[in-house]
Structure 1
Amino acid sequence: MGAGFASTERFLNEVRGNALRPGYVLAGDEIFLYERCRRAVLEALVPQELRDFCLSDLDLAETNIFEALDRARTPSLMAPFQVLFVRNLKTLYTRGAKKEEFAAIDAYFRSPNPQALVLFVADHIRIPSDPRRMDMEDKNRYERIRETLGEWCGVVELARVDEADALRWITSEAKRQEVQFDADAARELTDALGADMMLIASEFEKLLLYTGAKRHVTLGDVETMVLAAKQRSLYELTDAISAKDKARALALLHGLLNASDGGEDSAIGHLYMLARTFRQMLVILEKNVRDSRAIWQALWQGFRMPPFAADDLIRQARRYKSRRELTRALRLIAKADLELRSQPADKRLVLERLVQELASEPKAGQPGEASQQYAMEL
């Protein structure tokens, strides 16, 4: 397996073997691997009936590091163990040296609470499937984290997955679930979805349901199911959004939600794909890409769409007249992401409101540069 899967597997083995360090940094923006790590931690350390007492999801944009460490240090009266996910780690590396903050981190990890696990989420870093090709800015960010937190925390690389690793995952998962998955079927699934693990995992489960008791997935099954997925894919939704067709956009959103389980992972997965697609359109617009031949030079490996969507996405991107329109969309998606992660009563309503806003003409008064930058970093 590649860097991301290998690093994740080491972490999962430490979780299963109860050989955890007091802290970890989950570095990278591959959401499939992040969710895999999170689920393993919750299953091993956070009983469902105690979740309200022993699980904390903190955001350093809202809670400072001193408060987060105090919570980790203080034993819970209601639960034997505490797990803290600390998001927005990038705030520790902006606006000043943060000497007091890092001194507090050092002090905590010199004498950590043995009944607590602190997981820092560094999803502002992009790690490609081949780490040697990491962008210089991301490389500098990553090295700063290793220099400041690496002494105390394990670093789990959530690197992007390449097609070879995606194929190995399909084979391994099929074996684990005792399903025969033909090699040409696995290749077609990977090719059609561009090694996007969120989509591959979702379509894999649908294929198992589709094939039912026969427990055998063929090329024909994949062609049937993936074509159906294409017709109701997020690219159809973004086409309606870019055309400002609210009625069609909402109908397509409902189709996507009805085709999935509608749970938290599904909602966040749809939002992740929306953000990814609008970022792709932003690059296409900024680099003035006009045909599918040029798109593979403009978009780097691991950030490309499936081949069938290239022409459609170029056409959609060119409907936007400026970078500002697309950064507005990314800002709206970022706002919805924060709302979803705060456990709203109705996740469907959050997504419906987002799609309506995305498919509407922007109101008077544009976002400032800071808001645009935040949206770009989503």
Structure 2
Amino acid sequence: MGAGFAATDRFLAEVKENRLRPGYVLAGDEIFLYERCRQAVIRAFVPAEMRDFCLSDLDLAEVSIFEVLDRARTSSLMAPFQVFFVRGLKGLYTRGSKKDEFAAIEDYFRAPNPQSLVLFIADHLRIPSDPRRMDMEDKTRYDRIRETLGDWCGVIELARVDEADAFKWIVAESERAGVRFEQDAARELADALGADMMLIASEWNKLVLFAGEKKQVTLGDVETMVLAAKQRSLYELTDAISQRDTARALKLLHGLLNASDGGEDSAIGHLYMLARTFRQMLVILEKRVRDSRTIWQALWQGFRMPPFAAEDLIRQARRYKSSREITRALRLIARADLELRSQPPDKALVLERLVFDLTREPRAGAADGSLQYAMEL
């Protein structure tokens, strides 16, 4: 498979064989590959009964790197091993040279705590399936990370997956599951969902369950189950949000949760798709896309919506007065994402509160620092 899968496969092998370095940078915004790495680490080093003692999700927007390293340096009395997922890495590369911060990082990794694993999440980078096509700004940021952290941490590229690799993944996973997934069906699934691996993995799982004892998925199965109601429900939700229709948006949200096999446990997946859709609207608004003929030039491969949604999404984007309103929405979604990952007692309540915030008119003149977070999801 391609670069993204190859990099994560190497990391998964290191996790399985317990050959880990004391720190890693997970570089890129491909959330499917990130979750693959995260879950492998949790399965290997975070027993369910000790999760509260040995797993920490931190954000450099809220805590300093000095506090993160101090916690990593201090062994836990309750757990034999600690794992730290550290978001907000972008903050280390803005507003000044951060000499003291990088000196502290170097000092820690010269003599790291062998009972701690630190994973920095650089999800402000977008790494395309062909890294040679990386945006110059992203390339500069990525080179800076490798120059400052590459000597101490393993760097895992979470590059976008192209349709060919998505097709190979569907075939390989089907073989492992003992299911015959027709090649035309696999191609249709990869093409229809734009090589979006989070969506593909979710729909693949439903198709395999639907196949049941017949152990076969056909093109007709894909056309019947994937290309219709599920995606349209999401765009109906964003349509209600863009019209600030709270009652309708809540009704559609509950419909999505009830229709999901995982119930409220599918909340992170829904939140991911909501963030993706608002990011698409942000690009549409900033590039002044007016019709579906030009939308494919504005949105890159792997970041496109299904054809049936193009006109709807353009119309929804134009309901917002400025890109600032959409970046405010993205910041609200980012906050909800952090809350969901902290294992709240009621995930559905987190999403309901998010819908209330998204459909509420922003207060005039209110301070909004969302711009710096908008594209980090």
SS at match of 1:118: strand
Which residue pairs with 1:125 in the alignment?
A: 125
**CA distance in structure 2 between the aligned counterparts of 1:336 and 1:263, rounded to whole angstroms:** 14
Which residue pairs with 1:320 in the alignment?
A: 320
Which residue pairs with 1:19 in the alignment?
A: 19
**CA distance in structure 2 between the aligned counterparts of 1:67 and 1:190, rounded to whole angstroms:** 43
Q: Aligned runs of 1:93-242 on 2, under 5 Å?
A: 93-230=93-230, 232-242=232-242
CA contact 1:129–1:302 (8 Å) conserved in 2 = no
Q: Which amino acid is the alignment partner of residue 278 of structure 1? A: F
CA contact 1:55–1:84 (8 Å) conserved in 2 = yes
SS at match of 1:331: helix
SS at match of 1:127: coil
Runs (4+) of structure 1 exceeding 4 A deviation are none
SS at match of 2:226: helix
CA shift at 1:26, angstroms?
0.4
**CA distance in structure 1 between the aligned counterparts of 2:62 and 2:359, rounded to whole angstroms:** 30
- The unaligned stretches of length 5 or more in structure 2 are none
TM-score, length of structure 2 as denominator length: 0.95
Which residue pairs with 1:345 in the alignment?
A: 345
Q: Which amino acid is the alignment partner of residue 37 of structure 2? A: C
CA shift at 1:95, angstroms?
1.4
**CA distance in structure 1 between the aligned counterparts of 2:168 and 2:313, rounded to whole angstroms:** 29
Which residue pairs with 1:63 in the alignment?
A: 63
**CA distance in structure 1 between the aligned counterparts of 2:227 and 2:255, rounded to whole angstroms:** 15
Change (3 A) 1:116 1:373: closer
Tell me which moved more, 33-42 or 266-275: 266-275
CA contact 2:332–2:354 (8 Å) conserved in 1 = yes
CA shift at 1:204, angstroms?
0.8
CA shift at 1:93, angstroms?
1.1
Q: Which amino acid is the alignment partner of residue 303 of structure 2? A: F
Identity of matched residues, %: 80
CA shift at 1:328, angstroms?
2.6
Tell me which moved more, 320-329 or 172-181: 320-329
CA contact 1:232–1:256 (8 Å) conserved in 2 = no
1:273 aligns with 2:279: no
Tell me which moved more, 39-48 or 220-229: 220-229
Across the aligned residues of Structure 1 and Structure 2, the Cα RMSD in angstroms comes to: 1.7
- The unaligned stretches of length 5 or more in structure 1 are none
The number of aligned residues is 376
CA contact 2:257–2:264 (8 Å) conserved in 1 = no
Which residue pairs with 2:373 in the alignment?
A: 374
1:76 aligns with 2:104: no
**1:139-181 deviations in Å (ceiling 9; x for gaps):** 1111111001100111000111111111011011101111110
Q: Which amino acid is the alignment partner of residue 370 of structure 2? A: S
Q: Which amino acid is the alignment partner of residue 355 of structure 1? A: V
**1:272-318 deviations in Å (ceiling 9; x for gaps):** 21111111112112222122120111112222112222122112212
Q: Which amino acid is the alignment partner of residue 181 of structure 1? A: F
**CA distance in structure 2 between the aligned counterparts of 1:42 and 1:331, rounded to whole angstroms:** 27
**1:198-237 deviations in Å (ceiling 9; x for gaps):** 1111111111121211111111111110134446531121
Q: Which amino acid is the alignment partner of residue 6 of structure 1? A: A
**CA distance in structure 2 between the aligned counterparts of 1:83 and 1:342, rounded to whole angstroms:** 14
CA shift at 1:196, angstroms?
0.7
CA contact 1:328–1:367 (8 Å) conserved in 2 = no
**CA distance in structure 2 between the aligned counterparts of 1:189 and 1:10, rounded to whole angstroms:** 26
Q: Which amino acid is the alignment partner of residue 320 of structure 2? A: Y
Which residue pairs with 2:302 in the alignment?
A: 302
Change (3 A) 1:365 1:225: same
CA contact 1:181–1:218 (8 Å) conserved in 2 = yes
**CA distance in structure 2 between the aligned counterparts of 1:47 and 1:341, rounded to whole angstroms:** 17
Which residue pairs with 1:357 in the alignment?
A: 357
SS at match of 1:364: coil
CA shift at 1:48, angstroms?
1.2
CA shift at 1:319, angstroms?
2.2
Change (3 A) 1:331 1:113: closer
**CA distance in structure 1 between the aligned counterparts of 2:196 and 2:284, rounded to whole angstroms:** 19
Which residue pairs with 1:262 in the alignment?
A: 263
CA shift at 1:263, angstroms?
4.9
Tell me which moved more, 29-38 or 85-94: 85-94
SS at match of 1:233: helix
**CA distance in structure 2 between the aligned counterparts of 1:12 and 1:35, rounded to whole angstroms:** 12
CA shift at 1:247, angstroms?
2.6
SS at match of 1:57: strand
Which residue pairs with 2:245 in the alignment?
A: 245
TM-score, length of structure 1 as denominator length: 0.95
CA contact 1:192–1:308 (8 Å) conserved in 2 = no
Change (3 A) 1:329 1:174: same
SS at match of 2:263: coil
CA contact 1:191–1:306 (8 Å) conserved in 2 = no
CA shift at 1:195, angstroms?
0.9
CA contact 2:124–2:375 (8 Å) conserved in 1 = no
Change (3 A) 1:346 1:142: same
Change (3 A) 1:201 1:49: same
**CA distance in structure 2 between the aligned counterparts of 1:72 and 1:193, rounded to whole angstroms:** 40
